[in-house]
Amino acid sequence: MQLNDPITKIKGIGEKSAEAFYAAGIYTVNGLLHYFPRNYTTMPEAVTIREITKEGRKTIFGKIMSTPAMFSSRGKTILSFYVSDGTGRIKINLFNMPYMRKQIQPGREWYFSGACSLKGTEILMSQPKFLSKEQYEAECGFLAPVYPLRKDLTNTRLQKALKEVLYLCEDIHEYLPEDIRAGENLLSIPEAIRQMHFPGSMEDVYAARKRLAFDEFFLFLARMELLKQGPEKQTSHFVYPEKRSQAAAESLLKQLPYTLTNAQKRTISEIQKDLASGFCMNRLVQGDVGSGKTIVAFAAALAVVQAGSQAALMAPTEVLAAQHYNDICEMSEKYDLPFRPALLTGSVKASEKKRIKAAIADGSVNFMIGTQALIQEDVETRDLAFIITDEQHRFGVRQRMELAKKGCEPHVLVMSATPIPRTLGLILYGDLDVSLIDELPAKRLPIKNSVVDASYRTKLYQFIIKRIREGRQAYIICPMVEPGEEGTEITEGLANVVDYSEDLKQKFPPDVTIDMLHGRMKPAEKNAIMQRFASGETKLLVSTTVVEVGVNVPNATVMMVENAERFGLAQLHQLRGRVGRGEWQSYCIFVAGSDDGEISKRTQERLHILSETNDGFRIAEEDLKQRGPGDFFGLRQSGLPYFKIADIYTDAELLKRVKRIVCEMITTGSESLANLRQALYEKEEMDYIDFHGICL
């Protein structure tokens, strides 16, 4: 067996059982070896049922009292039965495990370990492990990995498959010189993989994760440095005299009902100089949420289309692409601008796509706006001169390069609202010229923030209803899509969109229309939901963090974030940017801790920063200072999908050291980097799994 073999080569995984692995994105042996746990748990000491007074993961020893009932709910098969230990009884639910029915026999005794919740006077345990006395004693003190789970994929199935192939990680070659590995105190790659899956202690986990984070940073930074090894500046065929660009921008800006900030004017001037330089622009515009990056991009694109060339804007979601399209259509009509825009996304009908692509090819469309549909092979442009990518960190290097190939050395402008500490930004965006929009538009009311515990929830609901009846709208953000999605050991007590929205429909009056939104929905469904919310038809949107990217609903004035302690400050700030975009006072409430009012001191200190300031860059700096080594077990923190293991905040010092090492290896002409250059040539969109799979 080899690393690149399909997982069906593994003993016990056939075509049917492989579907559960495919759903989690695991297709090869190497992919399985790099499917790492989200958390690690130890077996809690057994307690009596009477002693369970708070929610959380518990272990009990009891007797099955009833034959299980089996029923379906929201597409899930549920087995439900009762267990007693003489001090009380507990209800147990198993999801999508109908095969367990034969093992659940009245009178049998087991240790049950799982997440407990309190439903009135009833105690409910969901998806517990069944253990014999011997198994319970063996697991006490044992560090058990908890994996991100999908339908029909269990921890047990994953560990069984991993034990079959773990020896193959020895085939992963070392690329680092021994003196660097020793100097940085790094494990070998095989040892790091073994210790991530089967650690002896948390110290083993931290050491393994450090090595894997190092490799992710190394690949990212080496790729960036190697891309820069070409000519410093690439000549552009599209040159727009600065005075002409200034005149074009002025024709738009003088008609706007507001005045641009000095930071916006400075950024436009920097872009105009790039367009007139004779070299390809490669500029990042980084500005906080609501700082007005989009109007800057439109003003720059205006000079290009007035000169008879084409521009393109690629957004990460259909919702955001549609918003940009509607904005440019409205501005073109209102201010008599020469834009002839078209919207190209995956949900556009085939006949309409064909018409739009023909219009792009012959130049009838001079401003194409869309998603990744813009980089399809059959999209041909006449003279694409200017490319804008919004929320640029959401796109890979290859995707941005594919769009650039649609033109002939076009100018490229990338935009990001994700606040990143400036010291780290210089490393992450070292291949770009950076413009910083560090002012918010005038006359915008600052958002009022508060941090409360979950006991305030009822009062918050009343506050939301009051604002909605005044004509406004609101968001409620949950960290999960549905219960048990990531493995029950780490989801206890976390709010989920599916149950939360159903619960609110029962609690809220019927005039408060409620919708739910999450990333697993089909694009057309998500678009329809966001259109209902944007139009005001939906008053309250219960969502995951899918709304953090560029959704613009000025009428939404309240955001309530459940389990706020589970998010990084930078991501909470991104979410907060969805309100405060209109003329009305807006509010953001961060709900943390448990229903009994307990919020840890550290959580209070972290979230208090959000109450003190609305400056995303200051928040990013504070987030960097406050993060601890355990934060990488939380939900996605940084909002930057470059890395699966590494985190630019937790691992900031490591990132800086890797940058130095990469530069030294380039200077000394490392053979490893020469091999990596060849590998990147063959596969541009390489991740660290592929990186470990090649012979360096």
Banded pLDDT at 487 (limits 50, 70, 90) = very low
Strands 122-131 and 89-95: parallel
Question: Which element (helix H / strand E) includes 657?
Answer: helix 652-667
Q: What was the pLDDT predicted at 223?
A: 77
Banded pLDDT at 638 (limits 50, 70, 90) = very low
Q: Which of 338-352, 476-490, 519-533, 643-657 has the lowest mean pLDDT?
A: 476-490
> What's the mean per-residue pLDDT of the chain?
83
Q: What was the pLDDT predicted at 141?
A: 74
Amino acid identity of 155?
N
Q: Is 685's pLDDT higher than 70? A: no
Q: What is the pLDDT of residues 537-586, one digit of tens each?
A: 999 999 988 876 656 788 999 999 998 888 878 788 888 888 888 889 99
Let me know: does 491 contact 483? Beta carbons within 8 Å. yes
- CB neighbour list of residue 690: distance below 8 Å, 6 or more residues apart: 679, 683
The end-to-end CA distance of the chain, in Å, is 20
Q: Is 684's pLDDT higher than 60? A: no
Banded pLDDT at 599 (limits 50, 70, 90) = low
Q: What was the pLDDT predicted at 404?
A: 62
Banded pLDDT at 231 (limits 50, 70, 90) = very low
Q: Which of 119-128, 412-421, 481-490 has the lowest mean pLDDT?
A: 481-490
Q: Is 402's pLDDT higher than 90? A: no
Q: List 516's β-bridge partners, or say none.
A: 542
Structure tokens at 380: 């041909």
Range picked from 420-424, 530-534, 594-598 for highest mean pLDDT: 530-534
Q: Which of 140-144, 287-291, 553-557, 688-692 has the lowest mean pLDDT?
A: 688-692
CB neighbours of residue 657 within 10 Å = 15
CA 198 – CA 208 distance, rounded (Å): 11
Question: What is the number of alpha carbons within 13 Å of residue 209 lying toward its C-beta?
Answer: 24
| Nearest in space to 149 (alpha carbons), one of 446, 456, 386, 483 | 483
The reported pTM is 0.67
Banded pLDDT at 605 (limits 50, 70, 90) = confident
CA 684 – CA 677 distance, rounded (Å): 10
Higher pLDDT among residues 619 and 29, named by residue: 29
* Mean pLDDT on 375-388: 85
Q: What is the pLDDT of residues 243-283, one digit of tens each?
A: 988 998 998 999 988 889 999 999 999 999 999 998 888 88
* Mean pLDDT on 288-315: 89
| Nearest in space to 499 (alpha carbons), one of 87, 95, 214, 32 | 95
CA 513 – CA 325 distance, rounded (Å): 27
Q: What was the pLDDT predicted at 337?
A: 93
Q: What was the pLDDT predicted at 483?
A: 63
Which DSSP category does 8 fall into?
G
DSSP 61-123: EEEE-SPPEEEEETTEEEEEEEEE-SS-EEEEEEES-GGGGGT--TT-EEEEEEEEEEETTEE
Q: Kindly report the CA angle at 581 between 619 and 614, in degrees rounded to 5?
A: 15
Banded pLDDT at 627 (limits 50, 70, 90) = low
CA 692 – CA 696 distance, rounded (Å): 9
Strands 76-84 and 69-73: antiparallel
CA 64 – CA 80 distance, rounded (Å): 11
Amino acid identity of 407?
G
Q: Which of 301-305, 525-529, 611-615, 652-656 has the lowest mean pLDDT?
A: 611-615
Q: In 470-515, which residue ranges form alpha helices assigned H by DSSP? A: 488-491, 497-507
Q: Is 636's pLDDT higher than 50? A: no
Q: Residue 397 — φ and ψ, nearest 5°?
A: -55, -45
Banded pLDDT at 632 (limits 50, 70, 90) = very low
Structure tokens at 342: 């078209």
CA 535 – CA 437 distance, rounded (Å): 30
Complete domains list, the chain, with CATH: 43-142 (2.40.50.140), 242-437 (3.40.50.300), 448-613 (3.40.50.300)
Q: What was the pLDDT predicted at 88?
A: 93
Q: What was the pLDDT predicted at 514?
A: 95
Banded pLDDT at 475 (limits 50, 70, 90) = very high
Question: Which element (helix H / strand E) includes 125?
Answer: strand 122-131
Q: What was the pLDDT predicted at 469?
A: 94
Let me know: does 597 contact 512? Beta carbons within 8 Å. no
Q: Is 470's pLDDT higher than 80? A: yes
CA 577 – CA 399 distance, rounded (Å): 26
Q: Tell me the Ramachandran region of residue 455: left when phi exceeds 0, alpha when psi lies from -120 to 50, beta otherwise.
A: alpha
Q: Is 374's pLDDT higher than 50? A: yes
Banded pLDDT at 148 (limits 50, 70, 90) = confident
| Nearest in space to 480 (alpha carbons), one of 574, 567, 599 | 567
CA 312 – CA 283 distance, rounded (Å): 15
Q: What was the pLDDT predicted at 53?
A: 87
